Structure 1
Amino acid sequence: MSSTGGHRAGAPSSAGEPAPRRRAHRSRRKRPVVRIAVGLLVALLVVPAGAFAWADGKLHDTVDLGTSGGDEDSGSGTTYLLVGSDSREGLTDREKQELHTGSAGGRRTDSMILLHTGPAGTTMVSLPRDSWLTVPAYTSPMTGKRHGPAKHKLNASFAIGGPKMLVNTVEHNTGLTIDHYVEVGFAGFVNLVDAVGGVPICLDRNLKDEKSGADFTKGCHTLDGTAALAFVRQRHQEAQGDLGRTRNQQKFLTALAHRAAEPGTVLNPFAVYSALNAGLDTLIVDRNTDLLDLTSMFQAVRGVNGGHGTQLNAPVSAIGIPTAEGSAVLWDRSRAQRLFRELRDDLPVDVKGGKSR
């Protein structure tokens, strides 16, 4: 699974951070044979041709990641940015109450995961939303005022400039090039979980969080959409707060991919249509992402669940750091730079994530 363009490092900035990436144009016609075969297999054996075209047309491909010119890089891997937003679009007032989502307007990033696939395998890296990072210079679309680079929480970059600014910020601080952007809101997440018949999760302790609505006993459970949303959002009883939550989100995402690929789901036409309809309704992707790209992403996530990949958090040196935007998470710069260099150059990941001891 690969895409045209790669992940060679840019020259460090004067602040010691990766320079902003130059995004090479990626033609949708240049698809490796294996990737086409996977997509055709899904289209022919699982989804009738008409349904495949219908599903591809339902994608909200509204995010422009930019296509500025530049030399083609030699890296052969592909990097996705998977975003869970707190968008309430599609939810009734009663559903908002039942799901403990609140009624805030707009949308914010609730979770962010880098998924990198390449010759060295698949790696999922959770990026804590409270990560204290440099947001690149930008011009406010509201005022036209130019703002220089400044420190903010990672999820603030989304509030400042939406998906494109979030992608720019991730690229600026990791040196990676994001090839595909995939975002799902609350309603889409809940409906997708319900469409596949729930997702099995085993817990090693009791979990209860009044704010998210999570209330689970130790042991194995099959979570429906409402329970699943509560599980991936809970963090107040996690010893490491958002770091603990990101681990739960990765665990659930891989379990969801595995459940969706089980014979009882993929060989059931009704389940397939239901899952596609539920998953695509609130899915937002970039303009160069189509159903074949999502198929490749799905296969990669499923592979991680089967033990063919690595899951970790971005390396962290400290949590609860006081800032003007509240407590934040500080990355371990040396370990983070090494991790992202390994991903960028498609090398085996030899860096452990999480908080340094």
Structure 2
Amino acid sequence: MRMRPTAVLAVALLALAGCSGDPEPTTSSTSAAPTSATPTPTPDVVVEGADAKLTAAVAKVYAGKKGITAKASLGTWKKEKVAVVTSGDDVTLAVGPQWKVVGGWWPSLDKPTSLGKGPRFVLVIGSDARTDKPLKGTRGDTLQVIGIDGKGGGGIMGMARDIWAPMPGGGKAKINAAFAYGGGKGQVQTVRAVTGLPIEGYVVTGFGGFRDIVNESGGLPMTVAKKVVLQGKTTVKAGKQILTGKFALAYARERKSLPDGDFGRSAHQTEMLLAAAVSARVQGVTIVPKEMSIVSKYAETDLSAADALTFVASFYKINPTKVGHATAKGGFGTSPDGQSIVVLDSASRNAFARFKDGRL
């Protein structure tokens, strides 16, 4: 029988406990038993699924409190361990393996929420790298800026891929070319220059990685407003449904059948991010380590475990009615070398200005 990670960890801790005590006496088999046993002290904080170091880190949060029981959900972000520890409505966020508390919220203690200083922004990049191909040298065809204001609000800003923009290292090109020139950091640099937003990092994946993330997460529940014929052959019907990785990828990529082309495609991608956020909220914050582990397998990023964990967890403190979305777009023009490009309009520039507080 395959055990869940929490069960495996519990067995390992029991094995360690069995080997950590003093050895049995060997000089005599007739030693008298003590007349009274010293009672084992009851720990103030018990965390199911946690090792001793994580339990100790959580115990510091509840210093002076007794009878605290909690449960840890564990995962990884690249090579760093992450944990979400819940006790009632309290949530403690920690990174390992030495386990340091990096954020959380604790209504039982009347402590303020700690999730980093807002506003915060992260760039989600969908590379046009084909399945099993490297990301290096590809374009950032999907560009979505996710923001949180630290006060219960947020927003998602899609970027049309043909926006004429400054490139890392100089010159101008379509905004999605920045990834080919400078990788994730170069793409962030360009989007910062265009939007004026202080983006702190990026997460990027290719076609195959996106598909696998959706599949391993159990599909993407969402409501499709209007039937879409994808890539000329695959049809996604209107209505509430769960998209598999194949259909989610096709839905995210389709533009030729849409009346507003690439602008409509960017809007579809924003809808998918919102649907993923809603699905995660329904499942609860304990799902975060598992989802981070899945994304970490198929994505590249410059976000540390602490930054990624506190950013993702922030969405569980957001009021959905305070999350807006927009697509940066504009009129069509021609570049000096004859390319068809998008020239940002005033509405998009105004949206950037509104978004600087982390909310649309």
Match in the other structure for 1:133: 165
Cα-to-partner distance string for 1:38-82 (whole Å, 9 max, x where unaligned):
xxxxxx74523xx45776369xxxxxxxxxxxxxxxx94111111
1:280 aligns with 2:312: no
Match in the other structure for 2:48: none
Superposed displacement of residue 131, structure 1: 0.7
> Is the partner of 1:107 in helix, strand or coil?
coil
Match in the other structure for 1:159: 180
Asked if the contact 1:206/1:218 (under 8 Å) is kept, the reply is yes
> Is the partner of 1:262 in helix, strand or coil?
helix
Cα-to-partner distance string for 1:247-276 (whole Å, 9 max, x where unaligned):
111111121232234339956xxx964x44
1:245 aligns with 2:272: no
Q: 1:337 to 1:265 in 2, by over 3 A?
A: closer
- How far apart in 1 are the matches of 2:77 and 2:128? 28
**AA aligned opposite 1:82:** V
1:186 aligns with 2:186: no
Structure number having the greater strand percentage: 2
Cα-to-partner distance string for 1:215-254 (whole Å, 9 max, x where unaligned):
1122222111111111111111111111101111111112
Q: CA RMSD in A?
A: 3.3
Q: 1:171 to 1:45 in 2, by over 3 A?
A: same
Q: 1:198 to 1:134 in 2, by over 3 A?
A: same
**AA aligned opposite 1:235:** R
Match in the other structure for 2:138: 107
Q: 1:281 to 1:262 in 2, by over 3 A?
A: same
**AA aligned opposite 2:327:** N
**AA aligned opposite 1:78:** R
- How far apart in 2 are the matches of 1:190 and 1:305? 29
Q: 1:170 to 1:253 in 2, by over 3 A?
A: same
Structure possessing the higher radius of gyration over alpha carbons: 2
Asked if the contact 2:326/2:351 (under 8 Å) is kept, the reply is no
Match in the other structure for 1:206: 227
Q: 1:243 to 1:302 in 2, by over 3 A?
A: farther
1:83 aligns with 2:95: no
> Is the partner of 2:197 in helix, strand or coil?
coil
Asked if the contact 1:82/1:114 (under 8 Å) is kept, the reply is yes
Asked if the contact 1:303/1:309 (under 8 Å) is kept, the reply is no
Asked if the contact 1:207/1:217 (under 8 Å) is kept, the reply is yes
- How far apart in 2 are the matches of 1:264 and 1:170? 31
Cα-to-partner distance string for 1:83-119 (whole Å, 9 max, x where unaligned):
111233547xxxxxxxxxxx99853212011112225
- How far apart in 2 are the matches of 1:284 and 1:104? 9
- How far apart in 2 are the matches of 1:105 and 1:52? 24
1:195 aligns with 2:216: yes
1:313 aligns with 2:345: no
Superposed displacement of residue 292, structure 1: 3.2
**Stretches (4+) displaced over 6 A:** 302-305
Task: Structure 1: give runs of 5+ residues left out of the alignment.
Answer: 1-36, 38-43, 59-74, 92-102, 139-148, 350-357
Q: 1:348 to 1:246 in 2, by over 3 A?
A: closer
Higher relative contact order (CA 8 A, sep 6+): 1
Identity %: 26
Correspondences of 1:251-266 after superposition (within 5 Å): 251-263=271-283, 266=286
Q: 1:197 to 1:259 in 2, by over 3 A?
A: same
- How far apart in 2 are the matches of 1:343 and 1:155? 21
Asked if the contact 1:317/1:330 (under 8 Å) is kept, the reply is yes
Q: 1:188 to 1:266 in 2, by over 3 A?
A: farther
> Is the partner of 2:247 in helix, strand or coil?
helix
Asked if the contact 2:214/2:245 (under 8 Å) is kept, the reply is yes
Superposed displacement of residue 128, structure 1: 0.9
TM-score (norm 2): 0.61
Asked if the contact 1:122/1:300 (under 8 Å) is kept, the reply is no
Match in the other structure for 1:291: 305
Task: Structure 2: give runs of 5+ residues left out of the alignment.
Answer: 1-60, 62-69, 83-116
> Is the partner of 1:47 in helix, strand or coil?
strand
Superposed displacement of residue 303, structure 1: 6.9
Q: 1:45 to 1:249 in 2, by over 3 A?
A: farther
Count how many residue pairs are aligned between Structure 1 and Structure 2: 256
**AA aligned opposite 2:354:** E
> Is the partner of 1:238 in helix, strand or coil?
coil
- How far apart in 1 are the matches of 2:167 and 2:280? 36
Cα-to-partner distance string for 1:114-157 (whole Å, 9 max, x where unaligned):
11222562121111111112335x2xxxxxxxxxx433100112
Match in the other structure for 2:243: 223
Q: 1:246 to 1:305 in 2, by over 3 A?
A: farther
